[in-house]
Amino acid sequence: MSESILRTAQPPLSRSWRGLATGALGALSGIALLATSAYLITRAAEQPPILYLSIAIVSVRLFALTRAFFRYLERLTSHDAAFRQLAVVRTRLYRRLVRIAPAGLSRTSRGDLLTSVVSDVDALQDLPLRVVQPLVISALSSLLAVAGVFIVSPSGGVVLLVSLVVAFLVTSLVANALATQTERSLAQRRGALGAAVLDTLQNLDVLVAFDAIGAQLARVRSLDDDLRRASLRRASTSGLVAGLVSLLTGVTVIGTVWAGHSAIGHGLSGPEFALVALVPLAVFEVVGSVPVAVLAWRRVAASGARVEAAVPAELAAEIVVDEHDESDVRDDERQGSPAGRPAAPLEFGHPGDLAVRLRGLGARWPGAAHPALSAVDLDLRVGERLVLQGPSGVGKSTLASILVRFLDYSGSYEVAGYEARTLDPESVRATIGLLEQQPYLFDENVRQNLLFARDTATDADLEEILERVGLGEWLRERGGLDARLGERGHWCREGRPSVSRWRGLSCTASRCSCSMSPPPASTPTWQTNCFTTCC
Amino acid sequence: MKPLDPRLLRYASAVRGFLAAGAALGAVQTFFTVAFAFLVSRAVVVVVDREPQRLPGYLVALAVTILCRSLLGWALEALAARTAVKVKSQLRSRVVEKVVSRGHAWLATRNSARLATLIGPGLDALDEYFAKYLPQLILTALATPLLVVVLFTQDVLSGVIVVVTLPLIPVFMILIGWTTRSAQARQWERLARLASSFLDAVNGLSTLKVFGRERRQIRRIGALTDDYRSSTMKVLQVSFLSGFALEMAASLSVALVAVAIGVRLVSGSLELPVGLFLLLLTPEAYLPLRQVGANYHAAADGIAAADDVFEVLADEAEGADTSVSRSSTVPAPAAARNRPAHDVLQLRDLSVSFGDDHVFGPVDLDFETGVLTAVAGRSGVGKSSLLGAVLGTVEAGGTLRWRSDSAAPSHDETAWSGQVPGLLSGTIASNVALGDDIDLDQVVDALTTAGGRDLDPGIELGAGGSGLSGGQAQRVALARALYRLARRPVRLLLVDEPTSALDLVTEQELVEGLRRIAARGVAVVVVTHRPGVLAGTDRVYRLEPTAAIETRQAVTA
C-alpha cells in the first residue's frame, strides 16, 4: 500500500517489453536504411557487377518496410500496455481514497482537489508512453548503432559514442535547466492571473453590482501584462534544445568524416567510409526525443507528487482507516462472491434499549490546533428522536462524522453495546446512516441514485417515497425515474427544482437512523416529511 | 480541423506578422538545408576519391552551414513562442472583455469554472500549436516545393519519385481520417464519460461510504477502464495506420531513390556526388510533412481551445439587456434628484422566463421605503430571479419604477447581497468595501450589523473567498451590502437568504439590524424561508408561479 502511485504507472517488464523491442527495432531500421543506402550508392559508384549489389539493394528495401512496420507495432503495443496500467493505477488510487475519505482529505477545497487528483492520475499514462519508451529506445538503438559502426571503423565508433554521450547529457541538462527557470518565472504569474480571471467570472454579478468591475479588469490586465512580459523573456529559450541537437548532429558528422578520412585505404573502404560518415545523421534523429522525454518526466513527476500529497499513504492519527481493503477485495475476486455487498448491520434490540451511548467523547480534525468536540455525554434509545442544536462551528457535523466513523474519537462511543473502535467501520455505517449536509448526486438517472441505497426497492417503492418527500410532481414533469441528473446533479441547478429538493431526494435514499442538518432553504412541511420518513 | 483557422488571423493580429517572418526564415533555412546536403556529400566524395587536400575547405563551409542552420531553426521556434505568448494575451483580454460586456445573465448559462480554465491553461495548448505545428506547416508549404525543384534540377527520375509519393501521404491521412472519424468521435465521448464516471465515483465517495457501497466501485472502475482499453485499441489500430502510411511513404521513397541511383551509378549514367546529394536531400523533402503529421494532435488541442474562445467571441446573443422598462425618462443622477422621504418601488406585471421555461409572473409587488418586506415561496419558484429582475441582471417583462418620479431604481441607490456570497481573494475588509475606499470603522460597523462581530477584517481570503465557513462568508457578503448602504445614497436593499447558515440568536440580531436600516428610510427586501425572519418583517409576499400573494400587510404611518 505504501508503494508510490507514480511507481505503479509503469507497466511491469512482462507487459512493456513488446513495445520497447518493436520500438528499438523500428529506430534501428531507420538507421540501417540510411547506412545501407549510403553504402549501396558509394559501392555502386565503383561500378562492380550488379550482382555484388543485390544484398545491399534488398537490405535497403527491407529496412524501408520494417521501419514503418515496427513503428506501427510499437505504437499499438505500448498504448495497450499503458491503458492496461491505467486500470491498475485508478483502482490503486481509489483504494487509497476509500481508506481515508472523507476526513483524510483536505476539508477546505475538496471538490477541486479531487478533480485535480483525477486528472493528475490520468497524466501518469505519460510515464510509460512519453518517458520510459523514448528513453529506452534511444539508448538501445544508439548503443547498437555505435557497436555496428565500431565493427566497420573503430575510430568512427568512438567518435559517435562520445558525441552521443555528450548530446544525451547536454540536451537533457539544458532542457531541464530551461524548464526549471521558465517554471520559476512563470508558474506564480500564471496562477495569479488564473485566480483573478476565475474571481472575475464567478463574481461578475457582484463586481457589477458594487461598481468594482473596472478595478478588477484593470487588475486582470496588469497581471496579464506582467505574465506576457515574463513569457516573452522566456520565449527566446524555446527551440534552443532543438537547435543544439541540430548543431551536435553537424559536429558529429564533421568528426566522423575527419576520423575516417585518415583511415581510408588502411582497412576502410570507400563505401564503408560513406556508411560511417552518414550514420550519425540517422542516429541523431533518435537523440532528439531525449530532451522531450526529460520534459515529460518533469510533468509526470509533478503529477505524481501532487497525487501523493493529496492522498497520503501515511495518515494523521485522527482519521479512521478502513484497513481490510486490498486483501479482501482480492478474496472476493477469488471466491467470486458479489463484491461490495454492504456489511451486516448490528442488532439494536427493542424500543427503549440503549442504541448509542457516548461518554466523555472528544475529537479533533487532522491538523487542527483545538479539539472540535470534547466531553460529550449522550444516551440515545431505540425509537427516540433527538435534535442537536447549537451555533455554527460548535461541532454538530463533527459529531455526525464520529458517529459514522469517518473521524476517530477519544473517550467512549458505544453502539448497540459494543465500543465502536473495536468494530469494523463499515458495519457501524451499516447501522448508523447519515444524511449528509451536501449529499452527492451521481451522474446517473433518478432510479440509480436511489437504488444504491437499497437495491431491492421496486419502482413503485421509489415513486411512493418520492411522493412522500414532495417530489412526486417534479418526477412526473421530468419524465419519471429514467431522468438523468447530469454531472454533479447539474441540471437540478437550472433554477428549478432547487438543490434543497434534491437533498430531499437523497433523504429518501437513506435508511437513516441519524440525519444531519435539515436543508436550510427548505420548507418546514418538507422537513417534517423527511424526518418522519427517515426516522 | 483546418490547417490554419482564418479566425485566428482575425482575432489575433500577432499571427499575421509571424506568418510573414516565418516564411522568410523558412526560405533561408531551406537554402541551408540544401547547402548542408551538398557539402556533406562533397566531403564524403573527396575522401572516397582520395583527395584529402580538398577536405578542410568543405568541412569549414560545412561548419558554417551547420551553425547557420541551427541558429535559424532556433530563431524560427523562438519567434513562434513569442507569437504564442502574444496571441494568448490578445485572445485572453478579448474574451474577458467580451464576457464582462455580456454580463452575468449570459455567463449564468455557462460553466464559469470551465470558461476560466479555458482562458488560463486551456489557451496554453496554443503553445504547441505555434511551436511545433505552424512552423512545420509553413515549411511544408515553402521548403517542400523548393526542395522538389532542387531534386529535379539534379535528377529527373528522383524528382518524379518524390512528386508521385508526396501527395500519397496527405491522401492516405485524409482517407484514414475519414474512415475513423466517427469511431474516434465515439471514442472521445467514451473517454470523457469514463473520466467523468471516475470523477463521479471519487467525488461521491463519502456518500458511497455512508451507504456502504464504496467497495463495489473498485471493481467497477477496473472493469470500465479495461473495457475502454479494448475499444480504444480497436480504434487505434486503424488511426495509427495514418502514421504508418506516412512513415511508409517516406522510407519507401528513400529506398526507391537509393536503389534507382545505385543502378544508374553502376551503369555509369550518374555521378557519385549527385547520387549522395540526392540521397541526403530526399528525406528532407518529407520531413516537414512528417512533422505536421506527428504534431497534429498536440496542435488539435490548441485549435480546440482557440475554437472555444472564438465561439465565445462570436456568440452575438445579448445578455443583460432586459426588456423590462426600467425608466420612462433618462434617470437623473441620484443625488441631484429630488427624493421624497417616503417612496414606493412599484413592480407591475413583472414576469421572468428562461427561454421557454416560464418561471413566474405576471406579478405586482410594492417595496416601500421604511418597510422591511419579505418575499417567501417554495424553493425554485423564482425568488432570486425576482431580485435579479429588480437589479437588472435577469431578463424580465413588465415595469419597475419609483412612485414619486417614475424612474427605475438607479445603480447607485441599490445595494444587494446574493444567495451565493461571491467573495474575492483579498482581505475581509477589501471584500466588504468592494468598489469603494476602505474605511475601517465603517467596515467593522457593517460586519457587526451583519452578525459578523467576531470576524477580523484583516483576514486574508483565498480565491473565491476560500478560508471562511459558509455562514461566515454569508455574513461578509451581507456586510458588503451594508457598507455600500452606509457609503452611498442607497434607498433599496435587496437581501437573498441571509440567514440560511446562521443560528437563531445571530438571526434575530440580524433581523433587528435590518429593521433599523428600514427605519432610516430604506426599502429593505429580504428573500427568506425562515420563520424567525418572517416574524420580524413588516410585509410578506408569497411568490407563486402566477401571483404574488400579500400574506401580511404593512402598517405604514
Say yes or no for a CB contact (<8 Å) between B40 and A495.
Answer: no
B69, B81, B262 member nearest A53 (Cβ) = B262
Domains and CATH numbers, chain A: 9-310 (1.20.1560.10), 354-423 (3.40.50.300), 446-534 (no CATH)
Q: Which of A452, A198, A193 is nearest to B220 (CA)?
A: A452
Q: What pLDDT shows up at residue A508?
A: 40
Taking the C-alpha atoms of A265, A267, A270 and A274 in order, what is their torsion angle to the nearest 10 degrees?
Answer: -130
Q: What pLDDT shows up at residue B2?
A: 65
Q: What pLDDT shows up at residue A496?
A: 32
Say yes or no for a CB contact (<8 Å) between B379 and A497.
Answer: yes
Q: What pLDDT shows up at residue A107?
A: 47
B203, B212, B497 member nearest A342 (Cβ) = B212
Q: B441 versus A443: which is more confidently predicted? A: B441
Q: What pLDDT shows up at residue A518?
A: 38
**Closest approach of chain A CAs to the CA of B557, in angstroms?**
32
Say yes or no for a CB contact (<8 Å) between B226 and A95.
Answer: no
Say yes or no for a CB contact (<8 Å) between A392 and B81.
Answer: no
Domain boundary assignment for chain B = 1-143+297-319, 344-552
Residue numbers in chain A where pLDDT is lower than 50? 1-2, 107-110, 325-341, 487-535
Q: What class does CATH assign to B344-552?
A: alpha beta
Say yes or no for a CB contact (<8 Å) between A37 and B254.
Answer: yes
With beta carbons under 8 A apart, name residues in chain B contacting A175. none
A34, A76, A240 member nearest B237 (Cβ) = A76
**Closest approach of chain B CAs to the CA of A211, in angstroms?**
5
What is each CA distance from B409 to A361, A468, B103, B344, B489, in whole angstroms? 55, 43, 19, 11, 12
Q: What pLDDT shows up at residue B332?
A: 43
Q: How confident is the model at residue B464 (pLDDT cuts 50, 70, 90)?
A: low
Let me know how many helices (H) and strands (E) chain A has, helices first: 20, 4
Say yes or no for a CB contact (<8 Å) between B66 and A90.
Answer: no
Q: What pLDDT shows up at residue A343?
A: 64
Residue A11 contacts residue A81 (beta carbons within 8 Å)? yes
**Closest approach of chain A CAs to the CA of B68, in angstroms?**
9
Burial of residue B341, with CB atoms counted within 10 A of its CB: 0-12 exposed, 13-18 middle, 19 or more buried: exposed
R_g (Cα) of chain A, nearest Å: 33
**Closest approach of chain A CAs to the CA of B41, in angstroms?**
9
**Closest approach of chain A CAs to the CA of B243, in angstroms?**
7
C-alpha B177: how far from its chain's center? 28
The neighbouring-strand residues paired with B363 are: B350
Q: What pLDDT shows up at residue A3?
A: 65
**Closest approach of chain A CAs to the CA of B375, in angstroms?**
13
Hey, is A411 helix, strand or coil?
A: strand
**The pLDDT of residue B451 is above 90:** no
A41, A257, A406 member nearest B258 (Cβ) = A41
pLDDT digits (tens, 9 = 90+) for B218-270: 888 888 888 888 888 888 888 788 888 888 888 898 899 999 999 999 988 88
Q: How confident is the model at residue B435 (pLDDT cuts 50, 70, 90)?
A: confident
Say yes or no for a CB contact (<8 Å) between B240 and A75.
Answer: yes
**Closest approach of chain B CAs to the CA of A288, in angstroms?**
13
DSSP B3-29: SS-HHHHHH-THHHHHHHHHHHHHHHH
**The pLDDT of residue B323 is above 50:** no
**Closest approach of chain A CAs to the CA of B350, in angstroms?**
18
pLDDT digits (tens, 9 = 90+) for B24-52: 999 999 999 999 999 999 999 999 988 88
Say yes or no for a CB contact (<8 Å) between A211 and B435.
Answer: yes
pLDDT digits (tens, 9 = 90+) for B497-527: 877 767 778 788 888 889 999 998 899 999 9
**The pLDDT of residue B206 is above 90:** no
Tell me whether A17 touches chain B (CB under 8 Å). Answer: no
pLDDT digits (tens, 9 = 90+) for B339-397: 777 889 999 998 888 777 788 878 899 999 999 999 988 877 888 888 888 888 788 88
With beta carbons under 8 A apart, name residues in chain B contacting A340. 213-219
Q: Which helix (H) or strand (E) holds A363?
A: strand A354-363
Domain B1-143+297-319 indexed as CATH 3.40.50.300: no
With beta carbons under 8 A apart, name residues in chain A contacting B89. 224, 227-228
R_g (Cα) of chain B, nearest Å: 35
Q: What pLDDT shows up at residue A324?
A: 54
Task: Examine domains B1-143+297-319 and B344-552 and report if their fold is the same.
Answer: no
What is the β-pairing status of strands A410-415 and A418-419? Answer: antiparallel
- Angle (CA) A391 A400 A488, round 5°: 95
Cβ density class A106-133: b for 16+ within 10 Å, e for less? eeeebeebbeebbebbbbbbbbbbbbbb
The neighbouring-strand residues paired with B357 are: B354
With beta carbons under 8 A apart, name residues in chain B contacting A88. 222
Could you identify the residue written with the cell 528495401?
Answer: A61
ipTM score for this prediction? 0.80
Tell me whether A179 touches chain B (CB under 8 Å). Answer: no
With beta carbons under 8 A apart, name residues in chain A contacting B474. none
Angle, helix B156-165 to helix B272-294, in steps of 10 degrees: 10
Q: How confident is the model at residue B338 (pLDDT cuts 50, 70, 90)?
A: low
Q: How many residues does chain A have?
A: 535
pLDDT digits (tens, 9 = 90+) for B144-169: 999 999 999 999 999 999 999 888 88
Return the DSSP state at A435.
Answer: B
Say yes or no for a CB contact (<8 Å) between B254 and A392.
Answer: no
With beta carbons under 8 A apart, name residues in chain B contacting A239. 73-78, 80-81, 131
Q: What is the mean pLDDT of chain B?
A: 83
Please count the other Cβ atoms lying within 10 Å of the Cβ belonging to residue B23: 13
Find the residue in A nearest to B527 (Cα): A521
Find the residue in A nearest to B113 (Cα): A198
CB pairs under 8 A between A and B: 447
Say yes or no for a CB contact (<8 Å) between B93 and A215.
Answer: no
Burial of residue B174, with CB atoms counted within 10 A of its CB: 0-12 exposed, 13-18 middle, 19 or more buried: exposed
Tell me whether A496 touches chain B (CB under 8 Å). Answer: yes
Say yes or no for a CB contact (<8 Å) between A211 and B204.
Answer: no
